[in-house]
Chains A and B, each alone.
Chain A
Amino acid sequence: MANQENPQAALELLILKTLAAGPNHGFGIALHIEEASSALLRVEEGSLYPALHRLDKAGFIDAEWTTTPNGRRARVYRLTKEGRKRLKEIEESWTTLAEGVKRVLRWA
């Protein structure tokens, strides 16, 4: 499933990384990614939710309906143990890839 050329893989990495900071709902995740990347990355909202469900089905995250502090019902996701392991794996391979690309760019 993990395939670095797959744009979905990037989205998964971002979702898992966001959730590593703590449980969050879909909108919160989208917002966090935008803010953390200083609006460099904009999440395609149409693919965010299917990606969340894919991760849920694969068992990397768990979902639960809760009420947010401002009284809104939201489906909140949290990282599972497998999810944490998975995050570590793809983080590493992603860093390797990014490092490689950076070197190539420097020498090109």
Chain B
Amino acid sequence: MGMIDRWFRRRPSDDDMREELEAHVAMRAEHDGVDARAARRRLGNVLQTREAMRRVWIAAWWDALRQDAHYTWRSWRRRPGFALGAILVLALGLGASTALFAALDRVLFKPLPYADPDRLVSVGVVVAPPGGTFGRTEGMPDKSYVQMWSTTPAPFEAVTAMDTWTCEIAEESPEGVRCGDVDHNFLRVLGVHVVLGRDFAAEDDVRTAPRTALISHALWVRRYGADPGVLERTVNLDTARWGALQQVPIIGVLPPEFEMPVEAADILLPSQLRPFVPAPFVGEIMPFARLKPGVTPERAEAMLAPQLSQVSTLPGFRAEWRVRLLRDRRAGDAARAAWLLMGAVAVFLLIACVNVTHLMLARVGERRREFALRAAIGAGTIRLARLALAESLLLSIAAGASGLVIALALLRTFVAMAPPGVPGITDAAMDLRVYVVAILLMIISGVAIGLWPALSVLRVAAPESLRSTSTAPPGARPRVRFALVTAQIALTLALLVGSTLLLQSLWNVVSVPLGFDAEHVITLTAGLSRTRYPTAERAAAFFDELLARARSTPGVIAATLSDSAPPPRPPGGRAAITVEGRPTQPNAPQLLIGLRWVTPDYFKTFRISVVKGTTLKDDDAGEPTVVLNESAERTLFAGENSVGRRVRPAPFGFSNGKEVPNPWFTVVGVTPDVRNGQSLTDEPAPEAFLALRAGTPGPALGVSRLTLRTTAAPSEVAASLRQITSDIDPRQLVTIQTGDELLTLLTAQPRFIAWLLTAFATLALLLAAAGLYSVASYLVAQRRRDIGVRIAIGASPRDVARQVVGEAGRWIIGGAVAGAVLGWMGTRALQSQLYQVEALDPWSWTGALLALAMVLMMAVFRPAYRAAHVDPVAALRAD
């Protein structure tokens, strides 16, 4: 029989054992002719026998572990402060790491739900205006995409593209959803299969084909009750893109785990870009591709380089290819921030482990005589070291369990606080992966904190230890403990520097001059349903009345209606703009300019001035008018005066398969650039303000935003706004936000990172202070006799205190120097998160060092005071 067999030898159940003994008693009684009681008496104590049988089967290691656990528990009971403190510190470290892993798993680690995702890339061009920076995300004019890539470019196995937009299911119980235009090969390139029905075919994807739709699994379940009969049905879709309602047959259902590569969509439609994209119509799409095996994204960029001239832009603009792994594209800026936070939490966990190691070493020091005694009376030193290791493991298990509770609470906070744009964070939950990581972290930290104490037990338990007195403790040597404190101080300084830099940067972001005034501003957003507002006139009537009544509300100075407004998001749409009298090359791709439809008071509401010409006017009869920002004027007119000239945006959509041309808009004025990007740190982009008037082809009807400037506090006006809306249409849902709220949303990411890092740094500082305090106290207690002697022979209390402070100061300085080096290396990774702060910003560094020095000196104060007040007589008499 091999070892393995023996290991797995079936353990008889308790019933087996009971029955076996019962059988014995019965046979004995029968054989001896006595009654059962006598037979049982002969067997002795049945319970004890059964216990002995059971014990045979319990593994020896388990027995030993139980003993160790029992012993550890008793020693914790005697010193609950130590146990609770150590568990709490470690639980904070483990909990924070676990929660952060759970929150960021999808950004950093979890594989994407596509076949062979490491070869999927996002491809496109990024453009930088003269002197500006490159855009954040890559895209391509759909025209260039169709023309250039009618045959797949060399680095790729296949290319596909998508674009998403808002649409509405205009049926009973209407529902606003996201629609996505995709190439017919979209799912096949990603390696995704429909769970019901069929995928798009090439025939679905030509301009003349009837539209067909794939729906998401969630929509299928929610709206169609997961009925397979959905394939016989159509969905009535309403969108500004098409200019008319369309009944689209549903041909398939996407798998439940499907996610769009970027953005979200409930309904996919073939984009039908081929065989041609009409000349002036230029939309933007997002291409994706599967790399050929062995081709890297960098290599692909190089291989595409010759094609760049075909997507050339306006004079002075720079363009370049950007090919990124899909994972990087999805994570975007979040990935860097996520790594940063993971690094910070790892440092924090390390600090927690160092702190607990430190506490445990102090315990070993306290108990060295006990250990030595135990060794002397026969406990093997290995056994004692194992006891120390068992203690650390139990500590980490207790900390791991409480850490999970902390992680749950923290994760909820993270999800609530997390900035928009972190993929998957709203779905972040404690799943199996998270538990596995939590348990691994627990075991690793358990071993890490136990190893050193276990080794030092070996030393303590050496026989000579028993003879020694307290003046020469061989156990937890102070040098080791000081080294640990130094390491802690160093790591803490690195975190402190990082967090002060981020706070400084956050301050800079928050105080960026916006160019407009969002204070005392309140906005109302309403999406009108097409079924209740079937015509443009009906929708206009709703908004006209809303505007009129809002304007006459007390406390309102200005009111404007627009399709978008600056704080939260870039202009609603972007389009190529043609300048009258300037020849256009039919195939030259054009730069897209942000368009905003606004009523005249827009500028008054946001307090945006005019640098040239006038603002829009209410009585602008006749020709449609437009106001450009300075960037747009520069882009379109290259230094010439634009006021009085006419421009025309490319058509917004199709009607009956033909594009609807826009009228010419006369430029009446130019405003300064204001911040209008996705984040406050984005440089202003070119934009044009089109006058929103009856009779012009307005914005995407049904979604509009009312913005008011108030004298009263905006929150006070909110109530009357709600009242007005429900008077006009009680069924209409609206979102009301103040300008300040919208701005806060924009700074969510830097705020989140700065908040987390500051929390870690503060806790780390407290732990470092606790560590230093404990070592310094230990040192003073240990040297009581020496200090007593020195005081007895005339040293002043000040000298004594100065010596303690000086010694601690040396270690603080050592830690600070090491921390500066660490911080210097760490903050280079931080640079990308900083806005107008250098990683070596002297003020931030000084602040961090001062905070560190102050807190640590406070930690040393009490031990130093105690040293200065040692009573020499008592000290010398003791021991």
Contact = CB atoms under 8 A, between A and B. Distances in A.
Interface of A: 25-27, 30-31, 44-47, 49-50, 53-54, 56-59, 63, 65, 72-75, 80-82
A44 B52 CA distance: 14
A88 to B, nearest CB: 16
Interface string B3-47: 001100100100011011101101110010000000000111100
Contact of A27 (B12, B16, B23, B55): B23
Q: Is the interface of A mostly helix, strand, loop or mixed?
A: helix
B56 A54 contact: yes
Given A46-B45, A53-B12, A57-B56, A72 B20 contact: no
A69 to B, nearest CB: 12
B836 interface: no
Contacts of A46: 43-45, 48-49, 52
Contacts of A80: 1
Given A50-B52, A58-B6, 19 more contacts: A25-B27, A27-B28, A30-B24, A45-B42, A46-B45, A46-B48, A49-B21, A49-B49, A50-B49, A50-B55, A53-B57, A54-B56, A56-B9, A57-B9, A57-B56, A63-B12, A72-B27, A74-B20, A75-B23
A50 B6 CA distance: 17
B226 interface: no
A57 B23 CA distance: 21
B23 A45 contact: no
B1 A82 contact: yes
A108 to B, nearest CB: 35
B19 A45 contact: no
Contacts of A65: 16
Contacts of A44: 44
Contacts of B17: 49, 53
B202 interface: no
A54 B23 CA distance: 19
Contacts of B27: 25, 27, 72, 74
Q: Which of B19, B20, B44, B49 has the most CB of A within 10 A?
A: B20
Nearest to B51: A50
A75 B53 contact: no
A86 to B, nearest CB: 11
Contacts of A82: 1
B872 to A, nearest CB: 61
A54 B53 CA distance: 8
Question: What's the interface size class on B, roughly?
Answer: 20 to 34
29 contacts: A26-B23, A27-B23, A44-B44, A45-B24, A45-B44, A45-B49, A46-B44, A46-B45, A49-B24, A49-B49, A49-B52, A49-B53, A50-B49, A50-B52, A50-B53, A50-B56, A53-B12, A53-B17, A56-B12, A57-B9, A59-B1, A59-B9, A63-B12, A65-B16, A72-B26, A74-B20, A75-B20, A75-B23, A80-B1
A96 to B, nearest CB: 27
A45 B56 CA distance: 16
B447 to A, nearest CB: 31
Nearest to A28: B27
Interface string B41-71: 0111100110011011100000000000000
A70 B26 CA distance: 12
Contact of B20 (A26, A54, A81): A26
A25 to B, nearest CB: 7
Q: Which 5 A-B pairs have the closest CB atoms?
A: A46-B44, A50-B52, A27-B27, A59-B1, A53-B56
Contacts of B16: 65, 75
Nearest to B20: A75
Contacts of A63: 12
Interface of B: 1, 5-6, 9, 12, 16-17, 19-21, 23-24, 26-28, 31, 42-45, 48-49, 52-53, 55-57
A59 B21 CA distance: 21
B53 A53 contact: yes
A99 to B, nearest CB: 31
B50 to A, nearest CB: 8
A45 B43 contact: yes
A53 B57 CA distance: 8
B24 A26 contact: yes
Contact of A59 (B5, B26, B28): B5
Contact of B23 (A30, A56, A74, A81): A74
A15 to B, nearest CB: 14
A57 B57 contact: yes
Contacts of A30: 24
Contacts of A50: 49, 52-53, 55-56
B32 to A, nearest CB: 10
B584 to A, nearest CB: 91
B787 to A, nearest CB: 57
Contacts of A49: 17, 20-21, 24, 49, 52-53
A31 B32 CA distance: 11
A81 B52 CA distance: 26
Contacts of B31: 27, 31
Contacts of B12: 53, 56, 63, 75
A72 B1 contact: no
Contacts of B43: 45-46
A50 B56 CA distance: 7
A57 to B, nearest CB: 6
Nearest to B31: A31
A78 B23 CA distance: 18
A26 B31 CA distance: 14
Nearest to B48: A46
A27 B24 contact: yes
B228 to A, nearest CB: 53
Most chain B beta carbons < 10 A, residue from A49, A59, A81: A49
A31 to B, nearest CB: 7
Contacts of A26: 20, 23-24
A29 B56 CA distance: 19
Contacts of A72: 23, 26-27
Contacts of B21: 49
Contacts of B19: 73, 75
A80 B5 CA distance: 13
Nearest to B42: A45
B48 to A, nearest CB: 7
Contacts of B49: 45-46, 49-50
B42 A59 contact: no
A64 to B, nearest CB: 11
A65 B45 CA distance: 24
Contacts of B57: 53, 57
B273 to A, nearest CB: 74
A31 B27 CA distance: 10
Contacts of A73: 19, 23
A59 to B, nearest CB: 4
B710 to A, nearest CB: 84
A30 B17 CA distance: 17
A50 to B, nearest CB: 4
Nearest to B52: A50
A26 B19 CA distance: 12
A72 B26 CA distance: 9
Nearest to B55: A50
Contacts of A53: 12, 17, 53, 56-57
Contacts of B26: 72
Contacts of A81: 1
A56 B12 CA distance: 10
A31 B39 CA distance: 14
A56 B5 CA distance: 12
Contacts of B23: 25-27, 72-75
Residue in B6, B19, B23, B42 whose Cβ sees the most chain A Cβ within 10 Å: B23
A45 B28 CA distance: 11
Contacts of A47: 52
A46 B47 CA distance: 10
Nearest to A53: B56
A73 B27 CA distance: 11
A65 B24 CA distance: 13
Most chain A Cβ neighbours within 10 Å, of B1, B16, B28, B45: B1
